[in-house]
Chain A
Amino acid sequence: MAIYKLKTPISEEKVRKLRVNDVIYVTGIMITARDAAHRRALEFHKEGKALPVNLQGLAVFHCGPIVKKDDDKWMVVAAGPTTSTRMDLFEDEFIKNFKVRVVIGKGGMGKKTTNAMKKYGAVYGAFTGGAAVLAAKAIKKVRSVEWYDLGMPEAMWVLEVEDFGPLTVAIDAHGNNLFEDVQKKVEEERLKIYQKLGA
């Protein structure tokens, strides 16, 4: 296990150095995107329209933050990760088209996303579920909010972050998926546990 501090824009080469179980901290620009923002971004791409922000080398965070406006300035109050599997529908195309390098969320992602990460060079960083205060602390500034018509949680928040983490690399750019490994082991244990319990 190694600890890396990454600065956006993150290069493909840097991301390919990472292995599952490594811990990363991200500094620079991170955007939030849930289902709706993923869908819209892909629609934009299809129609040949540019996104409000160039995502190449950035981090995308599966999160619906609570943001409050103080004298015209947005402030992130809480920003815990949401369950990432919902974004499995979009993430492979998202990585392919926009070249984001770090995808952040909780609970892990599936085969399709893992393959895209391997092919185009990206990693999945697991952020501790519920750790909203830790997340908010690392968010230094709201640079802008795009697509606010989608609602506060679904909008694309463009955030300046400093040492956002710790993120456990749970899917790397070499096809390794820590969540899948754990699930496989759990299935292997299941029968042994039944036996031990006499169940």
Chain B
Amino acid sequence: MITKNSVEDVAVKLLYLAVTELPQDVKKALQQACREEESEAGKTQLKAILDNMELAEKTRTPMCQDTGVIIFYVKAGGQVKGLDKIEKALRNATVRATKEVPLRPNAVDPFTQKNTGDNTGRFIPFINWEIVPGDTLEITVMPKGGGSENVCALGMLSPGIGVNGLKKFVVDTVINAGAKPCPPNILGVAVGGGADIAMKLAKAALLRPLDQPNPDPNLAKLEKELYEAANSTGIGPMGLGGKFTVLGVKVDYAHRHPASYPVAVAVQCWAARRASARIYPDGKIEYLTHKVV
């Protein structure tokens, strides 16, 4: 049975896994970048990222001091019972993980500037819900760092310019960001829907593993084109110059209003933290992004 307690325990574990160990696809992409980087300064930085990553895993400490704002993605089977208890469980898990891992408290009231101290607050942790057929519960956590969040961008472009405008907007966003989001980055790019929908899709696109190209061949081609464009800026690891400014680009879209062409770019840093698990009706737990022994 899927219980509130099991959800809470799984979520604490996911938070811990996410901040201490990168998913396989990100690890592999960083290793490959380190092998192929030609700039000396860029290579030094990538090597340091890998050393830091290994050390974090070994010592079970957060890989970056900024453990982010906590965002959950929940895919709930329509037949799962007790869905009304899940939000509470995820909030409890966040409070617990903040103490147990520990995470840096990152939930600040925007008016009083007061930090709640436990990573919870109004709408935080944020939960993205999706109801799907079935009887399993899939939980993903994405602790999102501030440095990369600060360079995310939304453009309400002119529909007349179309996809060329999108491409230019992505390149401009990468160049404006420069060294700030701790490159190499991952870009989530989404077009259409509306301002909020585009950004939501862009961020969710970051959840798709780097080694999984877009199932739509046209979008896969666009992803590759944007990847090459971003990397030909030469910004490189930590902005010190080099081939690897991004590790990947993930594109998604929604249909749009005839008069609107919203383009959102969600920027993720090398510390591209995410962790997922699926809970089955019999209580079995399957971790999807990390090996758990």
B180 within 8 A of A: yes
On whether the beta carbons of A130 and B66 are closer than 8 Å, the reply is yes
* A187 to B234 alpha-carbon distance, docked (Å): 10
Find chain A residues with CB under 8 A from B152 CB. none
Contact of B241 among A131, A133, A182, A194 (CB under 8 A): A182
Q: How many residue pairs bridge A and B at CB < 8 Å?
A: 138
Contact of B240 among A134, A137, A178, A199 (CB under 8 A): A178
With a 10 A CB-CB cut-off, give which of A77, A127, A131, A134 has the most chain B CB atoms.
Answer: A131
Cα A79 to Cα B269 with chains together (Å): 18
Secondary structure dominating the interface of A: mixed
Say whether B164 contacts A166, CB under 8 Å: no
- The reply to whether the CB of A149 lies closer than 8 angstroms to some CB of chain B is no
Q: Which residues of B contact A136 (CB under 8 A)?
A: 61
CA distance A168 to B39 in the complex (A): 12
Task: Verify if A150 is at the interface (C-beta below 8 Å from B).
Answer: no
Contact between B171 and A132 (Cβ–Cβ < 8 Å)?
no
A-binding residues in B (CB < 8 A):
40-41, 44-45, 47-49, 51-52, 55-56, 59, 61-66, 104, 145, 147, 164-165, 167-168, 171, 175, 178-180, 182, 225, 229, 232-236, 238-241, 269-271
Question: Are B52 and A131 in contact (CB-based, < 8 A)?
Answer: yes
Contact of B49 among A78, A131, A168 (CB under 8 A): A131
Asked if residues B47 and A130 are in contact (CB atoms below 8 Å), the reply is no
Which residues of A sit under 8 angstroms from B225, Cβ to Cβ? Answer: 197
Partner of A170, one of B41, B229, B232, B271: B41
Q: 10 extra interchain contacts, Cβ-Cβ under 8 A, other than A126-B41, A133-B63, A181-B241?
A: A108-B239, A131-B64, A137-B55, A170-B240, A179-B239, A182-B235, A185-B241, A194-B168, A196-B229, A199-B164
With A23-B44, A106-B182 already in contact, the answer to whether A80 and B64 are too (CB < 8 A) is yes
Does A52 reach chain B (CB closer than 8 Å)?
Answer: no
Does B229 lie within 8 Å of A80, measured CB to CB? no
Task: Kindly state the separation between the CA atoms of A107 and B181 in the bound complex, as whole angstroms.
Answer: 9
Chain A residue nearest to B183 in the complex (CB): A129
Instruction: Please tell me if the beta carbons of A193 and B232 are within 8 angstroms of each other in the complex.
Output: yes
- A134-B145 Cα distance, complex, nearest whole Å: 18
Residues of A near B164 (CB, < 8 A) are 197-199
A54 interface hit (Cβ, 8 Å): no
CB contact under 8 A between A133 and B44, given known A183-B178, A197-B171 = no
Given contacts A1-B40, A133-B59, A186-B233, contact A179 B179 (CB under 8 A): yes
Residue of B nearest to A130 (CB): B64
Can you show 11 pairs from A to B with CB atoms below 8 A apart?
A: A78-B62, A80-B66, A130-B182, A132-B63, A136-B61, A182-B241, A186-B178, A189-B234, A196-B232, A198-B167, A199-B165
Does A190 lie within 8 Å of B41, measured CB to CB?
Answer: no
Chain A residue, CB-CB nearest to B104 = A66
- Contacts A107-B180, A129-B147, A132-B64; is A197 near B48 (CB within 8 Å)? no
Q: Which residue of B41, B62, B175 contacts A132 across the interface (Cβ within 8 Å)?
A: B62
Given the complex, which residues of A lie within 8 Å of B235, measured CB to CB? Answer: 182, 186
| Residue A11 lies at the interface, judged by CB distance under 8 Å to chain B | no
Q: Report B231 CB to chain A, min CB distance, Å.
A: 10
Rounded to whole angstroms, the CA-CA distance of A116 and B65 in the bound complex is 30
Residues of A within 8 A of B62 (CB): 78, 132-133
Known: A1-B40, A178-B241. A133 touches B55 (CB 8 A): yes
**Nearest chain B CB to A67 CB, angstrom units:** 11
Contact of B238 (CB < 8 Å), options: A128, A132, A134, A197: A128
Cα A107 to Cα B235 in complex, Å, equals 11
Judge whether B48 and A166 touch: CB under 8 Å: yes
**A78, A130, A199 interface centre (most CB from chain B within 10 Å):** A130
Question: Given A66-B104, A106-B182, A108-B179, are A199 and B168 neighbors across the interface (CB < 8 Å)?
Answer: yes
Contact yes or no, B180 A134, CB < 8 A: no
Which A residues are CB-close (under 8 A) to B271?
Answer: 130
Q: Which of A118-160 contact B (CB under 8 A)?
A: 126-134, 136-137
Q: Which residues of A contact B168 (CB under 8 A)?
A: 194, 197, 199
Known: A185-B241, A197-B229. A132 touches B52 (CB 8 A): yes
Distance in angstroms between the alpha carbons of A190 and B178 in the assembled complex: 13
Instruction: For B171, list chain A residues within 8 Å (CB).
Output: 190, 193-194, 197, 199
**In the complex, are the beta carbons of A133 and B41 less than 8 A apart?**
no
